[in-house]
Amino acid sequence: MSFFRRILLVVLLGFNTPISYAALTIEITEGVESAVPIAVVPFASQTAPVNISAVVNADLERSGYFKMMAEQSMPDKPTTAAEVNFKDWQALGQNYLVIGQVADAGGGQYNVQFQLLDAYKSGQLLGYRMSSSTSDLRRTAHHISDLIFEKLTGKKGVFSGRIAYITTNNLGGKRQLQQLQVADADGFNPQTIASSAEPLMSPSWSPDGKKVAYVSFEKKSAAIYVQTLASGERVRVAEYPGINGAPAWSPDGTRLALTLSKDGSPDIYVLNLSTHSLTKLTKSFAIDTEPSWSPDGSSIVFTSDRGGKPQIYIVPSQGGQEKRLTFSGNYNARASFSPDGRSLVMVHGNGNDYRIAVMDMASRSINVLTGGRSDESPSFAPNGAMILFASKKGSKGFLSAVSLDGKMQQKLVFNSGEVREPSWAP
């Protein structure tokens, strides 16, 4: 299918995939060979409604960097450092262990404390005490996982983050209900941000994680909305004749790059959200779409088929000369920068194979990370170490994640449905 037809189908029809309300099941399909043995001992707790140690254990396990010890294999269940017999854990080959306590402080508040211990050095590496409300206990658990992950890997954790995605529920006949949902990074606490009988697509997070821009066809034609998550308030920011698509926030949160066809062919524009003024960046008879900003806001990458095949181009965000970036493969699209600006993730295609690839901005070399035939919509995690993307096996769609070096891969499957267009919050 030609790039032009693919764009038209996405913009006019959306995708036809069933919704899921169930929690996410995360399968480690390929882990780091040097995964570090670690034991998360059940925290002492009598009344906490959330099993914090179980959440921490699940977070670290799905990272692929750690080999978790089964609870039934633990020699004992210490909850303080004084209770730990380090020789027992050394004998079982454990490098680290996590212990902790959760105490009811009354009034819907809990005191949580944990320690990360080095089994071979018989000492503490990390220790924190924190308070949490009942509703924030899972968030507190994810925060603990982030602290442990960063201490042991040197990379920031992303367990406290959120993801946005689009689902579609077939209601029978030709009736559909599409939803934009936001959930924790592990799939829990899903919240519906927008619902429509018409297509929803292209969710994009604001830099502060408080707003989401997206495309809606709820009025039978494309429009771009910006919605504040806390209040639900939303503002229609673009509803020009023709295509209104692919919104992308500037790093300072003041502008949106988007695709408009109001002057004829689809081009890249920048919309100032305060003044509502438009700046046209590209002027081509081809299809220019899928803009994404560089971390410093100086440039925008986009997809164009002006050379006959879809490839990645770059243009100064204030306007100027456009430059082609990709030459390898007959299809390169949906590019976005890593948080440090050193890499560019994209959909890389040859023939009918569409895989996730990363280009080093210095050398322009491309490294293909995935082996799927229908991988799309890549999104960098805030720490730059993981990439979230949508994939398909047969007719079934699901989300996947891959590390920047390709050594660790996860499959994220909603128990009773499918999802598309994932976007990782900053």
pLDDT of 39 over the 70 cut: yes
pLDDT of 9 over the 50 cut: no
**Domain ranges in the chain with CATH number 3.40.50.10070:** 34-153
CA distance 91 to 323: 59
The answer for residues whose C-beta is within 8 angstroms of residue 202's C-beta and 6 or more apart is 213, 214, 215, 245, 246, 247, 421
CB 102 within 8 A of CB 52: yes
**Domain ranges in the chain with CATH number 2.120.10.30:** 3-27+161-424
Q: How far is CA 338 from CA 17, 31, 289, in A?
A: 29, 22, 19
pLDDT of 216 over the 60 cut: yes
Q: What is the pLDDT of residues 265-290, one digit of tens each?
A: 999 999 999 999 999 999 989 999 99
pLDDT of 46 over the 80 cut: no
- Nearest Cα to Cα of residue 212 among 191, 239, 242: 191
Q: pLDDT band at residue 213, thresholds of 50, 70 and 90?
A: very high
The whole-number average pLDDT for the span 243-253 is 97
Please give the share of the chain, as a percent, with pLDDT higher than 90: 74
The whole-number average pLDDT for the span 288-302 is 98
- CATH class of the domain whose range is 3-27+161-424: mainly beta
CA distance 381 to 403: 10
- Residue 304 vs residue 171, higher pLDDT: 304
What sign does the CA torsion over 337, 2, 392, 188 have? positive
Question: Does the domain at residues 34-153 carry the CATH identifier 3.30.420.40?
Answer: no
The whole-number average pLDDT for the span 90-104 is 97
- Let me know if 412 is exposed, middle or buried by CB neighbors in 10 A (0-12, 13-18, 19+): buried
pLDDT computed for residue 27 by the predictor: 59
